[in-house]
């Protein structure tokens, strides 16, 4: 059933003659909610990927049977001004305690099925953002069936309206290294000139060692599928060699990516890139296009013993191709891989924020964490004291 929720009274603003009302599209009405989403995206001419109709529709097609989801549409009179997805986390625990969580955006999956959303955000008209955020928080707060409210992978500026209304929220900030292609283009120099001295020398030395390399930026659906197939093989081989399932160990995630390629590649909002040497693949990349920035989402590389520096070389050549094609930035997303630091010139902050409802379970969880911290500090102190006396 579609429900309407009026936002609490707030002072009128020059841009808002009527208060925002929230319309909720439940599990059986997601198609209708997505249609409203599609219309709003077209009206706002939005280029943000994680809040796009296609990203959300593809995610729901593969996760909605696992993750309870609602589409929330913000209306001002007859006008649609914003929309977002609200999901219920599945399979979450903190120690011995099951955790009931609520999330905004395509999040809440079990770890082995996660799509790892980054640059998460609302789809909303700029003059309605703050009121939409306030109404969303009021709506979520009015539901007593959750323990923790999570905001996953938001940029600082997109999270700020939430944090100002969620006092005491815990924030985990992570750096997303990136290379500023727009600056290089404006300066009229090559990307390699902006890298560190040792990185420049290493790249030049490795490129000389390779000699001729074949570079492929998929232009057709057939090319995209061929590169993706090889990416999956290389990615899985690496992780399975370390006794890990790899991203494509999840049939849901594999299906989600398959559908994203179908939806996004024809319009250039997803990139499949490959580097080959003497008929063998050095590396394959799948990158998302978000507001004219390339996001390094998935990759597969040849083993180091077969091809030297496969990750660095593949990304470096893709960065150069991206520069030629007019992109403004090459973002490596979060993670501690060495090539991300070596090939970046700056970084953005992404934030995972959690707000816990004041309740007995959360007080017990906090007490358990305090005990663990105390024990850990005591062990560390004893260890350092013991080392000093030996």
| Domain presence at residue 173 | no
Per-residue pLDDT at 166: 94
Per-residue pLDDT at 338: 84
pLDDT tens-digit map of 137-185: 999 999 988 999 999 999 999 999 999 999 989 999 999 999 999 999 9
Which one is predicted more confidently, 17 or 316? 316
Is the separation of the CB atoms in 308 and 206 below 8 Å?
yes
Residues 141 and 284 in one domain: no
For residue 271, which of 296, 234, 246, 236 has the smallest C-alpha distance?
296
How many domains are there within the chain?
A: 2
Residues 195 and 265 in one domain: yes
Per-residue pLDDT at 379: 61
Looking at the chain, which runs of residues are DSSP E strands?
3-6, 21-25, 69-76, 79-88, 93-94, 97-98, 101-104, 123-124, 148-155, 170-180, 214-217, 270-277, 280-290, 293-301, 329-331, 346-356
| Domain presence at residue 117 | yes
| Domain presence at residue 250 | yes
Is the separation of the CB atoms in 174 and 350 below 8 Å?
yes
Per-residue pLDDT at 116: 96
pLDDT tens-digit map of 99-145: 899 999 999 999 999 999 999 999 999 999 999 999 999 999 999 88
| Domain presence at residue 217 | yes
* Mean of pLDDT over the chain: 90
Residues 357 and 339 in one domain: no
10 falls in which pLDDT band (50, 70, 90)? very low
Residues 9 and 42 in one domain: yes
Residues 338 and 354 in one domain: no
Which DSSP letter does residue 242 get?
Answer: T
**Burial (Cβ within 10 Å: 0-12, 13-18, ≥19) of residue 208:** exposed
Per-residue pLDDT at 29: 98
Residues 85 and 142 in one domain: yes
Q: What angle do CA 128, 129, 133 make, to 5 degrees?
A: 120
Per DSSP, the three-state class of 183 is: helix
Per-residue pLDDT at 4: 52
Measured distance CA(59)–CA(386) in Å, rounded: 53
Q: What does the pLDDT average to over 345-356?
A: 96
Crossing angle between the packed helical segments 129-141 and 156-163, to the nearest 10 degrees: 50
Is the separation of the CB atoms in 298 and 231 below 8 Å?
yes
Domain that holds residue 139: 3-167+350-376
Q: DSSP letters of 53-90? A: HHHHHHHHHHHTTTS-EEEEEEEETTEEEEEEEEEE--
Structure tokens at 175: 């750096």
Residues 307 and 236 in one domain: yes
Structure tokens at 209: 């060692």
Residues 113 and 86 in one domain: yes
Which DSSP letter does residue 13 get?
Answer: B
Per-residue pLDDT at 7: 46
Q: How far, CA to CA in Å, does 30 sit from each of 36, 73, 284?
A: 10, 11, 34
| Domain presence at residue 384 | no
Residues 190 and 314 in one domain: yes
Segment 247-253 long-range contacts (CB within 8 Å, at least 24 positions apart): 247/298, 249/112, 250/112, 250/113, 252/62, 252/63, 252/66, 252/109, 252/113, 253/62, 253/113, 253/114, 253/115
Residues 6+ apart with CB under 8 A from 253: 62, 113, 114, 115, 247
Per-residue pLDDT at 92: 75
| Domain presence at residue 385 | no
Residues 310 and 357 in one domain: no
Instruction: Give the whole-number percent of the chain exceeding pLDDT 70.
Output: 87
pLDDT tens-digit map of 305-343: 999 999 999 999 999 999 999 999 999 999 888 899 999
For residue 2, which of 32, 45, 39, 36 has the smallest C-alpha distance?
32
385 falls in which pLDDT band (50, 70, 90)? low
Is the confidence at residue 31, as pLDDT, over 70? yes
Is the separation of the CB atoms in 75 and 95 below 8 Å?
no
Structure tokens at 291: 């507001």
pLDDT tens-digit map of 269-289: 999 999 999 999 999 999 999
Residues 6+ apart with CB under 8 A from 215: 273, 274, 275, 317, 321
Measured distance CA(9)–CA(309) in Å, rounded: 59
Residues 163 and 215 in one domain: no
Is the confidence at residue 380, as pLDDT, over 90? no
In whole angstroms, what separates CA 389 from the centre of its chain? 48
How much is the pTM? 0.87
Which value, to the nearest 10 degrees, does the dihedral of the CA atoms of residues 167, 172, 177, 178 take?
Answer: -30
Per DSSP, the three-state class of 47 is: coil
**For position 267, which CATH number holds?**
3.40.630.30
382 falls in which pLDDT band (50, 70, 90)? low
Residues 199 and 340 in one domain: yes
Measured distance CA(350)–CA(328) in Å, rounded: 19
| Domain presence at residue 175 | no
Which DSSP letter does residue 167 get?
Answer: T
| Domain presence at residue 278 | yes
pLDDT tens-digit map of 243-260: 999 999 999 999 999 999
């Amino acid at each position: 059933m579609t429900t309407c929720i009026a936002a609490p009274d707030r002072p009128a603003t020059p841009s808002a003659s009527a208060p925002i009302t929230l319309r909720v599209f439940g599990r059986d009405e997601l198609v209708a909610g997505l249609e409203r989403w599609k219309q709003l995206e077209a009206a706002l001419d939005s280029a943000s990927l994680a809040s796009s109709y296609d990203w959300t529709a593809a995610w729901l097609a593969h996760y909605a049977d696992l993750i309870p989801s609602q589409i929330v549409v913000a209306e001002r009179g007859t006008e649609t001004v914003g929309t977002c997805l609200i999901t219920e986390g599945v399979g979450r625990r903190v120690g011995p305690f099951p955790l009931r969580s609520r999330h905004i955006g395509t999040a809440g999956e079990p770890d082995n099925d996660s799509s790892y959303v980054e640059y998460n955000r609302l789809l909303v008209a700029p003059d309605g953002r703050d009121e939409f955020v306030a109404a969303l928080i009021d709506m979520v707060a009015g539901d007593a069936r959750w323990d923790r409210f999570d905001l996953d992978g938001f940029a600082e500026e997109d999270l700020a309206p939430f944090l100002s209304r969620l006092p005491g929220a815990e924030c985990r900030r992570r750096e997303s290294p990136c290379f500023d292609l727009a600056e290089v283009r404006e300066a009229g120099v090559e990307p390699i000139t902006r890298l560190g001295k040792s990185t420049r020398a290493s790249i030049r030395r490795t490129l000389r060692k390779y000699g001729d390399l074949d570079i492929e930026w998929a232009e057709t659906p057939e090319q995209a599928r061929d590169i993706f197939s090889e990416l999956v093989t290389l990615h899985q081989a690496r992780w399975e060699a370390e006794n890990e399932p790899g991203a494509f160990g999840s049939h849901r995630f594999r299906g989600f990516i398959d559908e994203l390629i179908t939806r996004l590649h024809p319009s250039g909002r997803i990139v499949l890139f490959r580097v080959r040497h003497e008929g063998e693949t050095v590396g394959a990349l799948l990158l998302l296009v978000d507001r004219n920035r390339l996001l390094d989402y998935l990759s597969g590389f040849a083993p180091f013993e077969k091809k030297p520096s496969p990750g660095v070389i593949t990304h470096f050549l893709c960065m150069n191709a991206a520069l030629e094609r007019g992109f403004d930035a090459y973002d490596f997303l979060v993670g501690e891989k060495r090539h991300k630091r070596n090939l970046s010139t700056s970084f953005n902050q992404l934030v995972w924020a959690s707000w816990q409802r004041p309740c007995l379970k959360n007080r017990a969880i906090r007490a358990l964490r305090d005990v663990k911290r105390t024990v850990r500090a005591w062990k560390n102190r004893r260890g350092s004291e013991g080392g000093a006396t030996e």
